[in-house]
Amino acid sequence: MNFQDFLNLSPNLRKINLPGDDAHFKLAPMLRMKELENLNIDKQNPKQAAVLSVFYPGPQGETKFVLILRKTYKGVHSNQVGFPGGRVEIEDRNLAHTALRETEEEVGIPQHEVEIVREMTRLYIPPSNFWVHPFMGVMKKTPVLIPQEDEVEAVLEIKLEEFMSESCLIKETLSTSYATNIEVPAFLLNGHVVWGATAMMLSEMKEILRQLL
């Protein structure tokens, strides 16, 4: 989709009802569903984090958004694809500020160039014990993307048109730090399998965008 058309429509994102967990569960691994079934999240005293999906014009005027491939490290999200973002810090004014600050740190997009257009449904991530609050934002020019050296292996620019296609939905068998040979629903984006919490948030984003476009 042409970015100017997307930008003109973007204020309507605020009017769309969030599909919430109904959309999340479409891309939830069965293991995650079982984990959440009888879990009292409040008793886990979860930490807070925020992530951001930034939409911007590509070189040919097409609409794109950013995901990141994280570095390999000793942790549950090692070498996985996700949105730029991270945990709330004491100096953050609010969750939206957390998402903007972390996005600038991880991919170099200046905070002042992004307009937050809506918050999506928060999502609990059991392996890391985080409530993650996803936001959608737009910027009017093509960004210079600079990956944070110690955290980001690669920046992935996703074309909106490809994301909205049904052909990017797949099932994949994989092993993680806490399970082996599990089949999961996922997105295949820019050659990368995107699953788990990120896929669940993308699922909600896709349903919101379907109503917009």
d(CA 87, CA 80): 17
Report yes or no: 100 and 18 within 8 Å, Cβ to Cβ. no
d(CA 24, CA 202): 8
pLDDT of residue 77 exceeding 50: no
- pTM value? 0.93
User: Looking at residues 121-135, what average pLDDT do you find?
Assistant: 93
What are the backbone angles phi and psi of residue 162, rounded to the nearest 5°? -70, -40
pLDDT of residue 76 exceeding 60: no
Position 97 scores a pLDDT of 97
In one-letter notation, the amino acid at residue 151 is E
The confidence band for 178, taking pLDDT boundaries of 50, 70 and 90, is low
Scanning the structure block, which residue is given the tokens 């992935």? Answer: 156
- Residue % of the chain over a pLDDT of 70: 93
The mean of the pLDDT values for the chain is 91
Report yes or no: 123 and 202 within 8 Å, Cβ to Cβ. no
* Radius of gyration in angstroms for the set of CA atoms belonging to the chain, rounded to a whole number: 16
Position 72 scores a pLDDT of 66
d(CA 87, CA 144): 24
d(CA 86, CA 97): 11
E strand residue ranges, the chain: 47-57, 63-70, 81-82, 85-87, 115-119, 123-125, 130-138, 152-159, 169-174, 182-189, 192-194
The confidence band for 184, taking pLDDT boundaries of 50, 70 and 90, is confident
Of 26-40, 72-86, 127-141, the range with the highest mean pLDDT is 127-141
Q: Check residues 64 and 78 and name the one with the higher pLDDT.
A: 64
